[in-house]
Amino acid sequence: MTALARIAPFALALLMPLAALANPALDAVIADNLDQIERPSRQTVAPLIADIAATGPEGLAMLQAWSARELALTEDGRAVITSGEVPVDAVTGDPVTDDFSSLRPNSGVRGVIDGALVVSQLSDPDPAIRRGALDTLARRADAAQLAALRGALDDPDPAIAARKARLERLLTIQLGEDSANRVQAIRQLSGDVALDFRAALNPLLATRIVATKDEPGGNVARELRPGSDDLSRQDAIAMLVDQGVLQPRLTSAEQRTRLAANIVDGRVGGLPVAALDDPDARDRAYEALEAEGAVPPAATEAETEAALDAHGFFAVYAEPDAAVTEAAETALTRTQTRLGVMRGFDLGLDALSLASIYFLAAIGLAVTFGVMRVINMAHGEFIMMGAYTGYVVQTLIADRTLSLLVALPLAFAVTFAAGVVLYRLVIRHLAHRPLETLLATFGVSIALQQLAKNIFGTQARPLTSPAWLEGAITFNDVVSISSIRVAIFVLALLFLGLFLFIMKRTRLGLEVRAVTQNPGMAASMGINPDRIAMMTFGLGSGIAGIAGVAIGLFAQVTSELGQQYIVQSFMTVVVGGVGNIWGTLAGATLIGGLSKVIESLNPANTLAAQTFMILFIIIFIQFRPRGIIPQKGRAAEV
C-alpha cells in the first residue's frame, strides 16, 4: 500500500465540510437506528457505533461530536453536528437551519464511543490525536482495540511508533490470545523498570487467600502459614469463621461481658466469680453456659487451634494461567533487581550531595582544629550567620541570581570578620587550653544564638533560590537529583580546589602547614604563628558562612540552623582525622553516605538512622582513634 493511498481518506476527511459529499451509508444507518441514537443504552449501543464508524470519515466525525455531546437531531430525523459556528448536517455537511434538540449520551455510552474512536484515531494524521488515543488505550483497552493497535503499528513519527510498539507489548501481556504470546511479551520486557510495565505485571500477580481442607484449585502461588507476616493468625481465624467451619472467637472483653450477664448467686456456669481471673477458668465457665444454651456458641482456644491445623491456607493467583504468572514472577524479580541497582545509584547521588554539605560545614572546623588544636563550638553559629546574611541580602536585592552572587562573598566576609574577632578576643588568650576554649566558644555560641533570635525572631526565614536552581535533573522514573544539590556539590568541589590551591601553592598555605606541623620551629623561622592562626580561623569561619548560604537554600533559616549541622560536622572531623583536607573529605563522604544508606534501610524512621549512625562512629573510633587519615609525625604527639 502506498503512502498516498493511506493518506487519501484523511485528506478527504479534511475536505469534507467544504465538499459537502453525501454519505448514503451513514444516512441509512441513522435512519434505521433513530431510536437508539436518541436513547442509547450502554449494553446495546456497541454494534450501532461499529456500523457508524464503518461508514467512513463522516461517521467518525459524527461519533466524535456524539461523544463530545455536540450532536443533535432535527424533527425529521437528521443528525446535526453543533460543534462549529454553524450547525451542519452530519451526513452532507450542509448548514442546518431547522430546529433541533441536543443529545446527551451518558458517560457509559460515551466510553463505548471513545473506545471505537480510538481505533480510528490511532491512524489520525494529527500526532497529538494519535498520542491522545495511546493515552486512552494505556488507561483501558480490550482485545479488539489491541487488534486495531497491531494493525496501526506503523507510524511516521518514530517516537509515537516506539510508544505504539511498547503499548502493544504491554497490552499483549494483559489481553494476549494465548499463553505463549503473553509469556513472550513478558519475557521481552523483563527487567524493564518503567512504571507502566510494573503496573501491567501487578494485576497478573495479584493473589487472594483461600482456606481449604483439601488440595486448593486454581493457580496456587504458595502455601501460607497462619501467624506469619503474610497471614496473621487473626485473619486466618476470621476466614474460617466466615466459611462457617469455626464458631466465632470471642475477644477477652466480649467473653467477660457475656459471663457478667450470666452471674447467678455469685457463680457463673458453676464457677465462683472470684475464680474468673484466669483465662482457662473463663473458658470453662463459658463452655458450661454454652451447654446450658445461655450464650451463643463460641470457639475456645483449643477448638481454634484444631481448626487452624486442619486447614491449609493458600495464596491463589487471580490469573489462571500458570505459565504466565511464572513468567511474570521472573520478570518482576529481574525488574526489582534492576530497580534496586538504580535506587542504589539514586542513593549514591543523595549521599554525594549530603557529603558535600557536611564537607562545606566541617572544613572550617577541621582546619582550626589542625592548626590550633581548638574546637570552635560557635562554628555552627557562623553557619547560621552566613544563612542570615543571605536572607538579609535577599530582602535588599530583589533579583534572586544577583542576590545570591552578592550573598556568597558577603557571607564569607561577615563570618571571616566574626572569626577574626573571636580569635583576637577569646581564643588567643586560651592557647594550649583546648577544653576551656571549647567551653568559651560555647558561651559565644549561646550568646550568638539568642542574639539571632532577638533580631530575627523565632520563625523560620525563607532563603529562596533563583529559578534556574529550582527543579531537578531527572534520568528516569527512579533516578533524579534536584538542581540545588548539584549546585552545592559543585560549590563543595570549588572549595576543595580553592583550599588545595591555598594550602599547596601560596605563601599562606606554606606557613599554615608549617605551623600545623611544628609551631615552635615555624616561629623560629620567622613565621608569626599568631597571625597564621588568626588567618586560618578567619578562613575556616568564612567557609562556614558560605556553607550557611548553601544550606539556607534548601533548609529553613532559623537561629538553630547551626545546631543541626554542628554535631555532624564534629563527627566528620573526628572520623576523617584532623589537619588534612582529604581526611575531611573522606569523613564527610563516609558520614553522608552512611546516613543515607541507613536511612534507606528504614525510611520511615530517620531518628533511628541517626542513632545507628552515631553508634557506628563511636565504634569506628575504637579502631581508628585518630580518624581515617591520621596526622603523622610530631604534630600528632601534641
Enumerate binding residues for another protein (CB under 8 A): 252, 256, 259-260, 263, 268, 273-274, 276-279, 282, 369, 373-375, 426, 429-430, 434-436, 438-440, 442-451, 453-454, 563, 567, 570-571, 574, 605, 607-608, 610-611, 614-615, 617-619, 621-623, 625
**DSSP letter at 123?**
T
Q: For residues 109 and 574, which CB has a smaller minimum distance to another protein in the complex?
A: 574
* Residues 441, 449: Cα–Cα separation, whole Å: 12
CB of 546 to another protein, least distance (A): 23
Residues 6+ apart with CB under 8 A from 86: 95, 96
The nearest distance, CB 629 to another protein, in angstroms, is 15
What's the rounded Cα separation, in Å, for the pair 269 and 616? 60
> Residue 549 Cβ, how far from another protein at the closest point, in Å?
25
Contact 296, 235 (CB under 8 A): no
CA dihedral 357, 358, 361, 365 (to 10 degrees): -160
Give the separation between CA 28 and CA 522, rounded to whole angstroms.
106
Residue placing its CB nearer to another protein in the complex, 563 or 600: 563
Look up residue 225 and give its three cell numbers.
502459614
| Shortest CB 280 distance to another protein, Å | 10
Q: Which is nearer to another protein, 407 or 574 (CB)?
A: 574
| Nearest residue (CB) to another protein, 57 versus 577 | 577
And the C-alpha cell for 552? 539556607
Taking the alpha carbons of 617, 620, 625, 630 in that order, is the dihedral positive or negative?
negative
H or E element that contains 272: strand 271-272
CB of 514 to another protein, least distance (A): 23
CB-nearer residue toward another protein: 499 or 570: 570
In this structure, which amino acid lies at residue 510?
L
User: Shortest gap between Cβ of 276 and another protein (angstroms)?
Assistant: 5
Alpha-helical (H) ranges within 555-632 are 561-576, 581-601, 606-623
Question: Which amino acid would we find at residue 633?
Answer: G
The distance of closest approach from Cβ of residue 383 to another protein in the complex, given in angstroms and rounded to an integer, is 16
Give the nearer residue to another protein in terms of CB position, either 110 or 284. Answer: 284
Q: By C-alpha distance, which of 489, 504, 192, 480 is closest to 336?
A: 192
Q: Toward another protein, which CB reaches closer, 137 or 452?
A: 452
Q: Which is nearer to another protein, 40 or 579 (CB)?
A: 579
268 forms bridges with which residues in the sheet? 271
Q: Please report how close the Cβ of residue 227 comes to another protein at its closest, in angstroms.
A: 16
Q: How many helices (H) and strands (E) does the chain have?
A: 26, 11
The residues near 356 (Cβ < 8 Å, ≥ 6 apart) are 485, 488, 489, 491, 492, 493, 588, 592
> Residue 573 Cβ, how far from another protein at the closest point, in Å?
8
Nearer to another protein, 438 or 523 (CB): 438
